[in-house]
Amino acid sequence: MNPFNILALSGGGYKGLFSARVLSCLEKEFGCPIAKKFDLIAGTSIGGIIAIALALEIPAKEIESLFIEKGNIIFKKRHLWSKGILFNSKYNNSGLKDTLTILFEDKTIGDLKHRIIIPTINYTEGKTQLFKTPHCSELCKDKNTKLIDVAMATSAAPTYFPIYHSTLGDFVDGGLVANHPGYFATIEAQKYLNQDVQNIHQLHIGTISQKFISSSSNCILTSSFLSWGAKLISLIFSCQENTTHFFLKYVLGNRYYSIDAETSDEQAKKIKLDAVSEKSKDLLMQKAESAVQKFMGTENFKFLKNYSALDFDSNCNDI
Res 201 pLDDT > 70: yes
> How far, rounded to the nearest angstrom, does the alpha carbon of residue 54 sit from its chain's CA centroid?
12
Question: Looking at residues 136-147, what average pLDDT do you find?
Answer: 89
Res 212 pLDDT > 80: no
Question: Looking at residues 132-161, what average pLDDT do you find?
Answer: 91
Question: Looking at residues 236-257, what average pLDDT do you find?
Answer: 91
Measuring CA to CA, which residue among 67, 96, 95 is closest to residue 288?
Answer: 67
Element (H, E) at 178: helix 175-178
Question: Looking at residues 51-78, what average pLDDT do you find?
Answer: 91
The neighbour count for residue 305, using CB atoms within 10 Å, is: 12
> pTM here?
0.91
Res 87 pLDDT > 80: no
pLDDT for the residue 75:
84
Under 8 Å between Cβ of 202 and 185: yes
Res 1 pLDDT > 80: no
Res 227 pLDDT > 80: no
Compute the mean pLDDT over every residue in the chain, rounded to the nearest whole number: 88
pLDDT for the residue 86:
47
Active-site residues, by number, are: 45, 173
pLDDT for the residue 210:
66
- Cα distances from 273 to residues 23, 50, 77, 120, in angstroms, run 19, 15, 14, 18
